[in-house]
Structure 1
Amino acid sequence: MARQIELIQKEMLDGIAANSDLVQLNSTSKVAIYRLIVFVVAYSIWLLESIFDKHRIDIDTALYEQKSGTPRWYRNMSLDFQFGFDLITDSDKFDNSGFTSDQIEDSKIIKYCSVKESLESNRLILKVASEQGDELAPLTETQITSFKQYLIEFQYAGVKINVVNNPADKLVLNMSVYRDVLVLDENGSSILNGGKPVETAIKNYMKALPFDGELVINDLIEKLRAVDGVNNVHISIASSSFYDTAINEYSPYNEIEVKTIPVAGYFEIINFDTVTYVV
């Protein structure tokens, strides 16, 4: 770990003071030439040590993320998928010769990915999602077919992978918001600024959730209680529905008692019709 500049400088000055051959360099002036030289050297040493620290972190991170066959490795390989590009022969790298950096970046359609080991069977559960505007969205049929072929090219022999590319789980919140009548009107709109801050807070909370992260009802309530004009929040029923690929339609809504992880990896709130504002 890089030492502080002051510590390096002190060690150098102490060494000078203890050296009889340098006894004449005993000025206490902050602008003494030798003190300025000591500071420049100390700063250079600190900068070099800081570079070494950064280099060590980069190497450790690269080694950790590039260990082949780990869930993190599968995730990184998935995020590197380039739609419409071919692989270099006998390689798991894409042939980017002749393409601009913007074209290469635009081809990386998988923006979110989660890889976990299934507890019920010997397989990896790989969830992916792309983007449409500011919203998460599943890959198209053509895109997911291409991606699955890409997986075959690099996955370890014998490893079974279940790819989840579902539309967002639907989330319904039956809730009562106890409002400050001086700040929010009966529809939940800000009297001073307009807009609906509670709905905005819910959307922001959903966006802040990590992909394939856990929705915790109490955490959501805590966020909503911090909204200006909200005195209290009561969520009577929170329920979700996931897209069942076996029947090609959404499942019946299931109540969320404490927390849940979306099957698709992310949620979508259809509307806020079940949010009421009370005094």
Structure 2
Amino acid sequence: MARQISEIQNEMLLAIANDSVLSLVFTSTSATAMFRLFTYIVAVSIGTMENLFDTHDAEVATTLFNQKSGRLPWYRTMALAFLYGFDLVTDHDYFDTTGATDEQIEAAKVVKYCAVNEAEDSSTVIIKIAGEENGVLAPIPLEQKEAFEAYMEEVKWAGVDLEIINFLPDRLYLSIQVKRDALVLDANGISILNGNNPVNEAIQAYMKELPFNGELRLNHLIDRLQVVPGVIDATILNAETSWIDAETAGYGDLQPLNIATIPESGYFEVVTFDNITYVV
């Protein structure tokens, strides 16, 4: 672990004080004495190097952890390494990119988000994935999913069952009552000064900041709304969600969301803002 700069400098000053020659030459107690300034510069340099070593050690540890075959982080690493349109090197678990440009390789990285868990009632590894469409999370197309599944079957550990979830976003329905400052927001929640709807934007920003497969907590959403200019208070009257049913390939019935939930698809879509009402 990197030492504090003061600790490093004090060690050098102590060494000078204990040296029979240097202690007779460098006797000033002034903080701006030349030899003290020099030891500070050296201490900063040493401290910087020690911090770099710590960073390197952490990066190596993370890399080794993620590269241990068969662990859940390894499956995530492999999923994000998928290159659509490329073939694996024979008898290896990485792709042959010979002759490909950086642009072609980057375009082939169709899996942008991934989360891996193990099923509670079996040894099945659940891999949730998503791509991007115009900067918005979306399932990857069926032909890409087919290639991805073939790739994961090729690189997975023998005997491990995989479940690939590549769904449309979970639908989120919110009924919210906002107590507004009539000097800042009009009856429809529009900013009188800027002409935008800051409550809707705050909800969208919160959803975007949620990590993939992250837990949505209603109290955190309320915290976000209560710091919006013009919002005096906010109350979630009702929250419901629905997600893709793997058997029917359609959305299931709405389910109540009381405190928190993790999306089945890995991400949410706020269906409408029409159920947000404003009172004074």
Give the residue type in structure 1 aligned to 2:253.
P
Query: Which deviates more, 45-54 or 200-209?
Result: 45-54
| Contact kept? 1:16, 1:25, Cα under 8 Å | no
| Counterpart mapping for 1:129-168 below 5 A | 129-168=130-169
Query: Which deviates more, 208-217 or 6-15?
Result: 6-15
- Could you tell me how far 1:4 is from its partner in structure 2? 2.6
| Counterpart mapping for 1:63-142 below 5 A | 63-142=64-143
- Could you tell me how far 1:7 is from its partner in structure 2? 2.3
Distance 1:189 1:57, change over 3 A: same
Query: Which deviates more, 127-136 or 23-32?
Result: 23-32
Distance 1:36 1:216, change over 3 A: closer
Give the residue type in structure 2 aligned to 1:17.
A
Distance 1:26 1:159, change over 3 A: same
Give the residue type in structure 1 aligned to 2:50.
E
Give the residue type in structure 2 aligned to 1:257.
N
Give the residue type in structure 1 aligned to 2:17.
A
Aligned length: 278
Q: Take 2:33 and 2:97, find their aligned partners in 1: how far apart are those partners?
A: 56
Distance 1:25 1:181, change over 3 A: same
Distance 1:261 1:40, change over 3 A: closer
Q: Write out per-residue CA displacement over residues 217-250 of structure 1, whole angstroms, 9 at most, x where no aligned residue.
A: 2221221122111122222221111122311221
Q: Write out per-residue CA displacement over residues 188-228 of structure 1, whole angstroms, 9 at most, x where no aligned residue.
A: 10001111000001101111111111212222122112211
Q: Take 2:47 and 2:222, find their aligned partners in 1: how far apart are those partners?
A: 47
Q: 2:270 — aligned with what?
A: 269
What is the percent sequence identity of the aligned residues? 46
| Contact kept? 1:8, 1:42, Cα under 8 Å | yes
Q: Take 2:260 and 2:52, find their aligned partners in 1: how far apart are those partners?
A: 43
Q: Structure 2 regions of 5+ residues with no counterpart?
A: none
Query: Which deviates more, 115-124 or 6-15?
Result: 6-15
Q: Take 1:173 and 1:23, find their aligned partners in 2: how far apart are those partners?
A: 73
Query: Which deviates more, 140-149 or 249-258?
Result: 249-258
Say yes or no: does 1:233 pair with 2:226: no
SS in 1 for 2:126: strand
Q: 1:58 — aligned with what?
A: 59
SS in 2 for 1:131: strand
TM (normalized to structure 2)?
Answer: 0.93
Give the residue type in structure 2 aligned to 1:108.
K
- Could you tell me how far 1:266 is from its partner in structure 2? 0.8
Q: 1:195 — aligned with what?
A: 196
SS in 1 for 2:25: coil
- List structure 1 segments (4+ residues) > 6 angstroms apart after TM superposition: none
Give the residue type in structure 2 aligned to 1:209.
L
Question: Aligned-pair RMSD on alpha carbons?
Answer: 1.7
| Contact kept? 1:180, 1:231, Cα under 8 Å | yes
- Could you tell me how far 1:40 is from its partner in structure 2? 4.7
Q: Take 1:36 and 1:256, find their aligned partners in 2: how far apart are those partners?
A: 61
Q: 2:243 — aligned with what?
A: 242
Q: Structure 1 regions of 5+ residues with no counterpart?
A: none
